[in-house]
Amino acid sequence: MQSLKTILSEEIGLAPDAVHEELSYANCSKWDSFTSVNLIMRLETEYSISLSTDEMAMCSSYKGISDILRDRKIDID
C-alpha cells in the first residue's frame, strides 16, 4: 500500500517533497477537478474503500483526506 504522500505526488504531478499538510485544491494550480476525480478513484482502489459523497467533498486537501483515512484506521505513511 502506498503512502498518501506518494499517491498525492503521483496524481497531482508534484515532487514528493512538495506534498505537505497544507496542500489543497485551493493552493495548488496543478490540482484541478479532473485530478480530484482521479485522486478519489485512486484512493478507493489503493485503500480498498468506498467514499461517501460527503467524504468525496472532503478530498480537496491533504488534511481532509488524511482525516478520512485516519477515521477509518488506515495508515497513511
Cα–Cα distance, 44 to 40 (Å, whole number): 6
CA proximity to 76, closest of 41, 45, 54, 46: 46
Domains and CATH numbers, the chain: 4-71 (1.10.1200.10)
pLDDT at 53: 97
pLDDT at 8: 98
Does the pTM surpass 0.85? The reply is yes
Mean pLDDT per 10-residue interval, the chain, length 77 residues: 95 97 97 97 98 97 98 96
CA proximity to 40, closest of 15, 63, 60, 67: 60
